[in-house]
Amino acid sequence: MIRTSRRLADGREVLYFDADGTTAARTAEDPRDLPPVSTRSQLRWDPLLGEWVVLASHRQTRTFLPPADQCPLCPTRPGRPPTEVPEADYQVVVFENRFPSLATAVERDVPASAAGAPLTELRPGFGRCEVVVFTSEHDRSFATLDAARARLVVDVWAERTAELSGIEGVAQVFVFENSGEEIGVTLSHPHGQIYAYPFVTPRVEKVLASVERHRVQAGGGLFADVLAAERSGPRVVAANEHWTAFVPAAARWPYELQLFPHRQVPDLPALAGEERDALAEVYLDVLGRFAHRFDTPMPYIASWNQAPVHRGREDWWLHLQLFSLRRAPGKLKYLAGSESGMGAFISDTTPEDVAEQLRAVVLP
């Protein structure tokens, strides 16, 4: 993999990643006249839930569903406005988000607590948010990439995870993709994101607590026990030598998969070459099943669960959550009173039925 680092007009970093053997030089300059990025993010501690909340009011002005000929993720080409990618073509590109929720250059001077709320601690919204663009072709999707490009994206995820984990103050790196307007995507060009958080997220904290509780009660590893049971159960959808994708027995979403490597590793950088090849293969398989389960592709979120940077790494097992809120043709699962108000999910589908339906999908 060849990496080239450049700067955009406002000073943000843009990184080009090309497969080995590529000869194209990445030297194009950003011709835009951009103001400096202004980030007013702030962390506030919720004393009742014991969780950090990120406030990022400056994101209200971010780009929202532009027409295809004004897409900021397409290459910069004659006859159209310059974009976030100065090159006329690219393979995979990563750049700092222009409207970040968290940033390394955030204002550090914040009060100790929110006005009138001494229990609500305040911290700067420190971190980093990156955009990962999978292809220069606007009308593609991850599911339609070839295996070589998917493998390049996996290598990029691993490289960015390793680098962002090395930033002082970063506690967790989250790689994800939102796909489909129903999910809330504001740019239709195939892309994902990476967040480098200054705290360990609530989901990971909760899973780590479950891992410790299981060790005390059962004397074994929770991840290993779950994976061993699911690999021999009725909910497996796809598998190869190194990975298994299954519908979890207590799935929350109408269509949900978890994808586990067979070897315990804490994060994407720890995957060996053959495991990355196998990941690209099985990931394209399950994305294809999501794309062809109904007449139109399912909107989805692909969420990589990686170990925190500084703790719990010896216990963690890398895995992916892939889920959709579509429950039937033309019908979505809304997070209504029970889910949004109490965090108690009520599912409209049965995991065993969903697994059978996804296995039956005929891939093109």
Q: What angle do CA 283, 287, 290 make, to 5 degrees?
A: 145
Whole-angstrom distance, CA of residue 357 vs CA of residue 352: 9
Residue 58 annotated as binding site: no
Q: Give the type of residue at 9.
A: A
Tokens representing 182 are 């129903």
**Burial per residue of 162-185, b for 16 or more beta-carbon CB atoms within 10 angstroms, e otherwise:** ebbbeeeebbbbbbbbbbbeebeb
Cα 250 to Cα 202, 246, 315: the distances in Å are 19, 11, 22
Residue 292 annotated as binding site: no
Tokens representing 196 are 């480098």
Whole-angstrom distance, CA of residue 172 vs CA of residue 266: 12
- In this structure, the number of other CB atoms found within 10 A of the CB of residue 61 comes to 8
CB 212 within 8 A of CB 204: no
DSSP 234-296: TTEEEE-SSEEEE--TT--SSEEEEEEESS--SSGGG--HHHHHHHHHHHHHHHHHHHHSSSS
Q: Is 82 exposed, middle or buried (0-12, 13-18, 19+ CB in 10 A)?
A: middle
List the one residue out of 65, 196, 74, 69 whose CA is nearest residue 134.
Answer: 74
Residue 242 annotated as binding site: no
Annotated active-site residue in 58, 191, 214, 242: 191
Verify whether residue 58 is a known catalytic residue. Answer: no
Residue 71 annotated as binding site: yes
- Alpha-carbon torsion 132, 137, 138, 143, what sign? negative
- In this structure, the number of other CB atoms found within 10 A of the CB of residue 44 comes to 19
Q: Which residues are catalytic?
A: 191
| Residues in binding site for Zn(2+) | 71, 74, 138, 189
